Amino acid sequence: MQGARVAEMLRIPDVDPMDARALLRATLGVSDAFLVAHPGQALTGAQRERYLAWIERRRAGEPVAYLTGEREFHSLAFKVTPAVLIPRPETEILVEAALERIPAQAPFRVLDLATGSGCVAVAIALHRPGARVTAADLSGDALAIARDNATRHRAAIEFIESDWFTALSGRRFHLVVCNPPYVAERDPHLAEGDLRFEPRRALVGGADGLYCIRLITDQARAYLEPGGSLLFEHGHDQGERCRALLVQGGYRNVAAHRDLAGIERIAGGMV
Ligand SMILES: C[S@@+](CC[C@H](N)C(=O)[O-])C[C@H]1O[C@@H](n2cnc3c(N)ncnc32)[C@H](O)[C@@H]1O
């Protein structure tokens, strides 16, 4: 492949053409429009080497986002490493549901529990600059990435290392948002695709996937202002059980937010 050009570099056997495009864009630091407009552009030797090394790792299953170190979420670019979950499109529903509840101006305290890359906290902070956003995670490595993302987007966020609410004693928030680990520990999907490479701690929520959600619905009340809300993401088949947990926990106005296919992905309630 001496003197390889863009068009040839995109015809790679055994690799999804969308993945090849993403890897080539990141190698060259160009847009998709550039790749379309310049099929004859030659890669330098170093670019070719880097791209083909990524292609090999992609063939072995590594997620594109971990190779390029970046993933777009809510129209913002986020740094990602294997220390954090790769932000998912469905989590944008959590952000939208949160923004509906946060006034544009009034003083408002928001907690993003289990912040990972910080994508939820950063998106909220940028859309509601009047809100005071706190982001917590058990993983110090994840918090380092979240801090980098907040700095990159100039989002004012307080970061706290905490095992769920333990480091937040005495604090009260108007809104707690969370995308917790909610995959059941024997779910066969854990052995497939990107999930094989993501931190287990970010994915697995006990035997039935609901361990963290039970803990959060149980404990969040004590950290919410009167009239405050809890909102969290859950698995595609967990909606009914999550709403039931909120009702059992004494939350009012229990509601679900659905994805474009009409599937419940976010549950919430007020205290
Ligand atoms: C599903 S990821 C969500 C990351 C990010 N909020 C997102 O939506 O992309 C779950 C996060 O929960 C964190 N986590 C797991 N156990 C925790 C605990 N006991 N206390 C706090 N955070 C925890 C993991 O480190 C991981 O970052």
- The domain limits of the chain are 6-60, 83-270
Which pLDDT value is given to residue 105?
84
Residue nearest to atom 8 of ligand 1 (CA): 179
- Rounded to two decimals, what is the model's pTM? 0.96
Each of the 271 residues of the chain gets a pLDDT tens digit; together they read 456 899 999 999 999 999 999 999 999 999 999 999 999 999 999 999 999 999 999 999 999 999 999 999 999 999 999 999 999 999 999 999 999 999 998 889 999 999 999 999 999 999 999 999 999 999 999 999 999 999 999 999 999 999 999 999 999 999 999 999 999 999 999 999 999 999 999 999 999 999 999 999 999 999 999 999 999 999 999 999 999 999 999 999 999 999 999 999 999 999 9
Residue 118 Cβ contacting ligand 1 at under 6 Å: no
Q: If you take atom 4 of ligand 1, which residue's CA is the nearest one? A: 116
pLDDT for residue 85:
98
| Residue of minimum CA distance from atom 24 in ligand 1 | 202
201 CA distance to ligand 1 middle (Å): 7
Verify whether ligand 1 is closer than 6 Å to residue 120 (CB atom).
yes
Q: Is the CB of 85 within 6 Å of ligand 1?
A: yes
Pocket lining: 117 vs ligand 1, CB cutoff 6 Å: yes
Look at residue 70 in the predicted model and tell me its pLDDT.
Answer: 97
Dihedral sign from CA coordinates of 218, 219, 222, 224: negative
144 lines ligand 1 (CB under 6 A): no
**What is the model's pLDDT at position 106?**
83
Nearest atom within ligand 1 for CA of residue 84: 27
**83-270, which class in CATH?**
alpha beta
* Confidence at residue 3, expressed as pLDDT on a 0 to 100 scale: 61
For ligand 1, the distance from its centroid to the CA atom of residue 202, given in whole angstroms, is 5
- CA 243 – ligand 1 centroid, Å: 21
